[in-house]
Amino acid sequence: MCGIVGIRRLDGREVDPALLRRMTDQLVHRGPDDQGYWHESGIGFGHRRLSIIDLEGSRQPMQAGPHTICFNGEIFNYQELRKSLQSGGYQFQTNGDTEVLLALYKSEGLEGVRKTNGQFAYAIWDATKDELILHRDRLGVSPLYYYWDGQVFLFASEIKALLPAIEGGGQVDEGSLKEYLAYRSVPAPYTLFDGIRKLEAGCRLRLDKSGAVRIEPWWSLPTAAADESISASEAVQGVETSLRDAVSRRLVADVPVGTYLSGGVDSSLITAMTSQLMGGGRVETFSAGFGDPRYDELPYAREVSKALGTAHHELIIEPGNFQDLWSKLTWHRDAPISEPADIAIYQLASQASSHVKVLLSGEGADELFAGYPKYAWAERVKVVDLLPAGLREAGFKALERMIPRRAAKARIALRAMAARNESDRFQAWFAPFTSYERDALIDGEERAQHRAITARAQGDTIQRMLYNDCHAWLTDNLLERGDRMAMAASVESRPPFLDHELVELAARLPSNVKLRGGATKWVVKEVARRPLPASIVDRRKVGFRVPLDSWFRGELRNMAGDMLLGHNSFVASRMNRDVIERMLKDHQSERRDEEIRIWTLLCLEVWHEVFFRGGAPSA
Instruction: List residues with catalytic annotation.
Output: 2
Q: What is the rounded CA–CA span in Å between residue 577 and residue 565?
A: 7
CA distances from 78 to 1, 82, 101, 413 (A): 15, 6, 8, 45
Q: How far is CA 300 from CA 18, 204, 280, 284, 501, in A?
A: 51, 42, 22, 16, 30
Sequence letter at residue 181:
L
Residue at 156: amino acid letter: A
Asked if residue 70 lies in contact with residue 48, where contact means CB atoms within 8 angstroms, the answer is no
Across-strand partners of 62?
69
For residue 523, which of 241, 267, 229, 239 has the smallest C-alpha distance?
239
Of the candidates 294, 349, 287, 346, the one whose C-alpha atom is nearest the C-alpha of residue 322 is: 346
The vertex-161 CA angle with 157 and 167, nearest 5°, equals: 135
**SS3 assignment, position 494:** strand
3-state secondary structure of 455: helix
Q: Which of 172, 127, 185, 147 is nearest to 23 (CA)?
A: 147
- Cβ contacts of 419 within 8 Å, gap of 6 or more: 392, 425, 427, 428, 434, 435
Q: CA triplet 435, 436, 442: central angle to 5 degrees? A: 85
* Torsion on CA atoms 562, 563, 568, 572, rounded to nearest 10: -110
Cβ–Cβ < 8 Å for 602, 563: yes
Peptide bond preceding 61 in cis form (omega within 30 of 0): yes
Nearest C-alpha neighbor of 111 from the set 255, 216, 18, 254 = 216
Instruction: Mark 383-418 as b/e (b = at least 16 C-beta within 10 Å).
Output: ebeeeeeeebbebbbeebeeeeeeeeeebbbbbbbb
- The whole-angstrom separation of Cα 204 and Cα 114 is 12
Residue spans of alpha helices (H) in 461-533: 461-469, 480-488, 500-508, 522-528
Beta bridge partners of 34: 49
- 44 near 19, Cβ under 8 Å? no
**For 403, how many CA atoms within 13 A lie in the half-sphere containing its CB?**
18
* Nearest Cα to Cα of residue 549 among 347, 348, 408, 373: 408
